[in-house]
Amino acid sequence: MSKSDTFENSLLLLIFNNTAVANIGDAGGLRASVTAGVLYWALHTADPGEAGSAITNETSYTGYARQSCARASGAGGFTVTGNSVSPFGNIVFPISTGGTPTITHFSVVNTGPAGGTAGIILYSGTVTPNIVVSTSVVQTLTTGSTITED
């Protein structure tokens, strides 16, 4: 069974923009958090898979750290449109000071900011084109890095 398009949008708004979903349970619905908090973007050298955690295939170039993103709409947060979500602005990762992995996947996780902390992958996706990490180069996920709920 699949979710309706409307509920897919509502679920993404709840997770990424901290927007309540009305009329589920009681009139208050699925409520937004009192404090929205943040989620974290992570980079991976292979698909972490549905059974993976935040550290599954996570990159480990020298200087790497997960990047936070506010659970909000607009600057510093996420853009939710229909059944997809993307960063509002580019996600810039620290410059590599050593190591040359190839980044093939990204994920949004509940733990950070440092790599190496296991946590839950909320969603993951493919980086296209792949990012070949080089020393002294900034790694960036663009606003085209989209997650689709379906």
Task: Please enumerate in sequence order all residues whose Cβ is within 8 A of that of 131, keeping only pairs 6 or more positions apart, or say none.
Answer: 43, 102, 103, 139, 140
Helices in the chain by DSSP H: which ranges? 5-17
Q: How does DSSP assign 102-136, residue by residue? A: EEEEEEEESS-SSTT----EEEEEEEEEEEE--BT
Q: Tell me the average pLDDT across 40-65.
A: 94
Give the rounded percent of residues in the chain with a pLDDT score beyond 90: 73
pLDDT at residue 115 above 60?
Answer: no
Q: What is the pLDDT of residue 24?
A: 86
Average pLDDT over residues 12-30: 89
pTM: 0.91
43 vs 25, more confident: 43
Q: What is residue 43's three-state secondary structure?
A: strand
Model confidence band, residue 18 (pLDDT cutoffs 50, 70, 90): very high
Indicate the pLDDT class of residue 101, thresholds 50, 70 and 90.
Answer: very high
pLDDT tens track for 62-79: 999 999 999 999 999 999
What's the half-sphere exposure (Cβ side, CA atoms, 13 Å) at 65? 9
Give mean pLDDT, residues 42-46. 96
